[in-house]
Chain A
């Protein structure tokens, strides 16, 4: 059973600060990593994809990947109250030539306080 671990939180950050979320995974063969945001009662929405070691920035979000340490993180800069949500880390596992599936972490709940 492949595992993806996240701190459940809540991670409380003041408005305007940086929120730092971490995720570790067990499968060394994983090639694709994703961060989803999920508001209460809603379905997950994709916010970042990362496939190679290093940093990837998109607006206020930065994803960081270190395959040697089996670690992926998400930074949210200038946090806003609208960023309050649960953030899910997901790791790809190749099943067949054309098939793949994602294993999700339990999610980190983020609370941004005005």
Chain B
């Protein structure tokens, strides 16, 4: 089975802090994704990567950056956390081609 592991299940940070969310997958998947999920807004794509050191902006990249130095690891960075970034963050991976995504357990981030 595919395993996508997110480093934290719950995280509380203060406004202005730099926040790192880590995601690791163990299936040698080419594609990795970061989504956020908010009530009433559904799942929205922040960034994705289809290869090491490659990144593409999703629908809501503002206020975020990403890093993919190794194939198995995809990090989401909040440069200066703000309260409107309080959300559930979901990492996912997929092989190349028209394949489904496999999600991690999510990180519920609260910015106070």
List the interface of chain A (C-beta within 8 A of B).
Answer: 1, 31-32, 34, 42-46, 49, 51, 88, 90, 92, 94-96, 98-107
Contact = CB atoms under 8 A, between A and B. Distances in A.
7 contacts: A31-B98, A44-B43, A90-B100, A95-B56, A98-B31, A101-B48, A105-B42
Interface in B73-112: 90, 94, 96-106
Contacts of B33: 101-102
A106 B99 CA distance: 20
| The 3 residue pairs across chains A and B that have the minimum distance between CB atoms | A99-B50, A32-B98, A98-B96
B51 interface: yes
Nearest to A94: B98
Contact of B31 (A51, A100, A103): A100
Contacts of B45: 101-103
- Size bracket, chain B contacts: 20 to 34
B98 A92 contact: yes
A90, A100, A103, A105: residue with the most chain B Cβ atoms closer than 10 Å: A100
A98 B104 contact: no
A104 B46 CA distance: 13
B97 A34 contact: no
B68 to A, nearest CB: 12
B110 to A, nearest CB: 14
Contacts of B104: 43
Given A43-B103, A43-B105, A43-B106, 7 more contacts: A31-B98, A45-B103, A46-B100, A46-B101, A99-B30, A99-B31, A100-B96
Contacts, number: 71
Contacts of A102: 33, 45, 100-101
B59 interface: yes
Given A95-B50, A98-B50, A44 B103 contact: yes
A1 to B, nearest CB: 7
B58 interface: yes
B27 to A, nearest CB: 14
B59 A1 contact: yes
Contact of A99 (B35, B43, B56, B101): B56
